[in-house]
Structure 1
Amino acid sequence: MRVVTEPFSDYIRWEHEGTPLNLELGEDIRWLPRHRIPAGAVLPVDNAEVIVGRFDADGRPTERELIKDSTVVAQCARVRDLLWWLATPHADYRPPVV
């Protein structure tokens, strides 16, 4: 699941355009606009590790942190599973045009 701010930054637009490659490799990519996440929810995740991406105020990536702590990963997976239904499959998602 890709949690995004709309409208997209250039980086996220690039990532969206490259998503068909991920789909070909078997990923199920869904898009969740940040404004649709319930207040207080925190997201990342996969079931073994979490990569937290950080961005500057202009939406440019600044750093990533790999988290393997099983307790943290399990908590993130639970949140992901609760919010999955809010996300839109890539084939159905239409990012806003700016």
Structure 2
Amino acid sequence: MSQNGVPDFAELLRSAQYTAVHLEMRDIYSVGNEKAGFEDFLRTGRTDVDPDSPFWQGWTPLVRETVARGVQMRRARIVSEPVTDYIRWEHALTPVNVAVGEQVRWLPRRLASDIALPGNDLWLIDDRRVMFHWFTGDGDWAGHAFNEDPDVVKMVVAAFEAVWERAIDHEKFTV
């Protein structure tokens, strides 16, 4: 357990028994470990789609391990259109997420207007535990909070499922 009773992310994902879902709602992130890859994409249009490359080593082994235990992993992204350069890069990288076992869908923001959404990106584990992530205005990490309150979890489940139902499978979503 990390500080303040909030589990570290790998620990949280390893605790999943059935489902792990991720809701992303920003049009740009600027977290430090992605900076070089994003800048390269802007310069060259190329992305690292080798799930075994050093860029992915913090993520793909954890997803493979989680999916191998029978956990269903779903990721939904709500995006503005036209999409930002960051979202174009994220879309280009998503085949790796899919290749290692995640299901990914995209929802244009204009189709989410009547969905009650949480104020922050999140991970929901087994429809029981939520880890909210918040970011600075320009997209860098600003913190996170862990929540198991049944009313909060119920709201998050409803929001994610509404987004998922409307969202477009990655293979059919174009940027």
Shorter-chain TM band: 0.7 to 0.9
Give, in angstroms, the shift of residue 27 of structure 1.
0.5
Choose which of 1, 26, 46 in structure 1 pairs with 2:101.
Answer: 26
Asked if residue 69 in structure 1 is aligned to residue 151 in structure 2, the reply is: no
Choose which of 138, 145, 162 in structure 2 pairs with 1:82.
Answer: 162
Give, in angstroms, the shift of residue 18 of structure 1.
0.1
Q: How many residues align?
A: 92
Which ranges in structure 2 are unaligned for 5 or more consecutive residues? Answer: 1-75
Q: RMSD in angstroms over aligned alpha carbons?
A: 2.3
Which ranges in structure 1 are unaligned for 5 or more consecutive residues? Answer: none
Correspondence for 1:14: 89
TM-score by length of 2: 0.45
Structure showing greater Rg:
2
Aligned sequence identity (%): 29
TM-score by length of 1: 0.74
Partner deviation per Cα, 1:19-58 (whole Å, 9 max, x = no partner): 00000111000001111013352154433334445474xx
Judged with a 3 Å threshold, the aligned counterparts in structure 2 of structure 1 residues 63 and 14 are, in CA distance, closer, same or farther, namely same
Judged with a 3 Å threshold, the aligned counterparts in structure 2 of structure 1 residues 51 and 12 are, in CA distance, closer, same or farther, namely farther
With a CA cutoff of 8 Å and minimum separation of 6, indicate the structure with the bigger relative contact order: 1
